[in-house]
Structure 1
Amino acid sequence: MKKVIAFLLSLFGSQASADQELHESSMNFDMENVHPFIEKLNTELALQLKAGELTNAISQTPVDSESTFTLEINYAGKKQKLILKAYMDDVDAPDLYFFSPSAELASSISSAMDSFVDERDL
């Protein structure tokens, strides 16, 4: 686990140190819901993620494999990195993990996940 945390911290460059905690939001998705969820994040959190490109890249992840995306975002007036890991748990069923040094952003993503599930009766 320490190797995974060290790897994730290395992705944040000068914004992170070994003492900086990363906050996680995660959920399993059906592939058909990935694009609408990323669009929801763009609408609610103004993250300006490239939903089409991310969805396509995630869909290319083989079963029992993972892909990692380092995303440059602007959140709450600050430039920061958001790490998105996609683990393809089953055919067209990725687990999405968002890692951020911002507890507020992680909490907002978790809230968006909860409301997404409620809105779609998932």
Structure 2
Amino acid sequence: MKLKSTVIIIIGLFIFLGGCSDTVAPKIQDKNPEEASMNFDMNNVKPFLQHISPLIDSGFSKKEITQVQEKIEKMKPDDEYEVGKFDIVYQDKKTQLIINAFMDSPDAPDIYIFTTPDLANKIQDEMIKFADELEADN
């Protein structure tokens, strides 16, 4: 009788916990990425991406920045698509950095960066500072 009760408890726990599964660490921990966005002059995209690169532990360096810049430079007016999707490490956690661009007008893309809420907020803050610095220089 004791064995039967133990088996029933084990089966109940098995069902309650969702059955058996292969344990694979999730690649992306953020199910709800947030957006940081701004319109740039073409010649300011790469400097801005270089400016935010130090915020990211790894996965977004010169190579990835050059890749994004080259894709954006090939865009025609009214083109809109993903120009980069990178597996990055931010604050010791794996996540993604997704960059979309919309060529609003020739040589002036709108850049949309999707990532963790914390990093997206920091990038948005840097976008504002970057725009303020450009305006002060003019």
**Aligning the two structures, in what range does the TM-score lie when normalised by the shorter sequence?**
0.7 to 0.9
The alignment's C-alpha RMSD in Å is 2.1
> 8 Å contact 2:100–2:112 — kept in the other structure?
yes
Aligned pair 1:33/2:44, yes or no? Answer: yes
**Alignment match, 1:118:** 132
Structure 2, gaps ≥5 residues long: 1-25
1:24-82: per-residue Cα shift (whole Å, max 9, x none)? 11000010100100000113445533222211111111210112021111111111111
Q: Note the 1:55-70 alignment, pairs <5 A.
A: 55-68=69-82, 69-70=84-85
**Of 80, 89, 92, which aligns to 1:77?**
92
| TM-score (ref. length: structure 1) | 0.77
Structure 1, gaps ≥5 residues long: 1-12
Identity in percent: 34
**Alignment match, 2:120:** 106
2: CA distance, partners of 1:37 / 1:116: 7
> What is the number of residues matched between the two proteins?
107
Given residue 74 of structure 2, which amino acid in structure 1 is its aligned partner? Answer: Q
2: CA distance, partners of 1:112 / 1:22: 18
Superposition misfits of 4+ residues, deviation over 6 angstroms: none
> 8 Å contact 1:61–1:67 — kept in the other structure?
no
Larger radius of gyration: 2
**Alignment match, 1:10:** none
| TM-score (ref. length: structure 2) | 0.69
**Of 15, 25, 30, which aligns to 2:28?**
15
SS of residue matched to 1:61: coil
What is the CA distance between 1:109 and its match in structure 2?
0.5
**Alignment match, 1:87:** 102
What is the CA distance between 1:114 and its match in structure 2?
0.9
